[in-house]
């Protein structure tokens, strides 16, 4: 059975971003909008890992984490706290509540998945992806830059290029699969990556992908990066 990860945040954008990070992982994802909802979810079906924001209405992450860790049958449930503040005071509050790890916003996809992997050994990738190097044109609000699609799935891609939009905004990508026609993809920016020993760029989730284009893309990925 696939492990379950509970994502807790009152901001839908951050929930969607974390779900996108886990899009290619063999896990079941459930969400809650505050600590009270999180405890209700845990009571119905205990997850294997919790990622939880600190600042939330009704019951914040600190109180929820403290409740989890003070409940004998839940004390060993891993909880990763997430906050916009990376200062020592915030970290101390999280650790005093009993959290198992601590991440700061803006979330970095690599660090997020590394944190998940520390508590869920053998976190497998299930979505077909292909390491590619395809020239792409990125357009947003009248601006245009050139870049490269470096990692591709039927649901999204990593684009090595300056990001023209903040997380949550729409962009248009135009690129061509080898041997195929030039295609335009509408997409939403779901995370960004600064140049930290790797290529700077951003991750996107494709939006309203036409069935024909999706089938072509899935066929390309199924054959290991070749069009039939």
For residue 137, give the CATH number of its domain: 2.40.10.220
Give the dihedral sign, CA 86/89/90/91. positive
**Is residue 228 a part of any domain in this protein?**
no
Count of structural domains, the chain: 2
**Angstrom distance (rounded) from CA 224 to CA 160:** 21
On whether both 88 and 137 belong to a single domain, the answer is no
Per-residue model confidence (pLDDT) at position 225? 56
Q: What's the CATH code of the domain at 92?
A: 3.40.50.2300
What is the reported pLDDT for 124? 54
Q: Are residues 184 and 140 in the same domain?
A: yes
* Same domain, yes or no: 95 and 115: yes
| Residue 124 included in any domain | no
Minimal CA–CA distance to 138: which of 156, 111, 160, 114? Answer: 160
Domain end, chosen from 88, 119, 150, is at 119
Q: Which domain holds residue 183?
A: 129-222
Q: Which of 96, 119, 142 finishes a domain?
A: 119
Q: Domain check: are 14 and 113 in the same one?
A: yes
Q: Is residue 23 part of a domain?
A: yes
Contact at 8 Å (CB) between 133 and 226?
A: no
Beta strands 49-53 and 129-140, pairing class: unpaired
pLDDT value at position 173? 95
Judged by DSSP in three states, 7 sits in strand
Residues 89 and 171 in one domain: no
Q: Does residue 144 lie within any of the structural domains?
A: yes
Considering the domain architecture, whether residues 10 and 67 belong to the same structural domain is answered as: yes
Parts of the chain with a pLDDT under 70: 1, 122-129, 195-198, 224-228
Residue ending a domain, choose from 69, 98, 119 = 119
pLDDT for the residue 210:
77
Q: Assess if residue 227 is contained within a domain.
A: no
């Amino acid at each position: 059975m696939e492990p379950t990860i509970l994502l807790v945040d009152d901001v839908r954008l951050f929930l969607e971003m974390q779900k996108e990070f886990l899009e290619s992982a063999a896990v079941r994802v459930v969400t809650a909008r505050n600590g009270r909802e999180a405890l209700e979810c845990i009571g119905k079906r205990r997850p294997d890992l919790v990622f939880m924001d600190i600042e939330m209405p009704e019951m914040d992450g600190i109180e929820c984490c403290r409740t989890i860790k003070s409940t004998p049958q839940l004390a060993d449930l891993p909880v990763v706290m997430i906050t916009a503040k990376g200062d020592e005071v915030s970290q101390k509050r999280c650790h005093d509540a009993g959290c198992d790890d601590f991440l700061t916003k803006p979330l970095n996809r690599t660090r997020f998945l590394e944190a998940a992997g520390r508590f869920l050994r053998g976190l497998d990738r299930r979505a077909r992806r292909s390491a590619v190097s395809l020239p792409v044109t990125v357009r947003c609000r009248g601006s245009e830059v050139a870049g490269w699609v470096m990692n591709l799935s039927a649901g999204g891609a990593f684009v090595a290029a300056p990001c023209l939009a903040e997380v949550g905004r729409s962009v248009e990508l135009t690129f061509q699969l080898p041997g195929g026609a030039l295609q335009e993809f509408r997409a939403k920016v779901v995370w960004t990556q600064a140049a930290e020993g790797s290529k700077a760029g951003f991750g996107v989730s494709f939006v309203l992908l036409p069935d024909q284009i999706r089938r072509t893309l899935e066929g390309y990925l199924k054959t290991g990066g070749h069009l039939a």
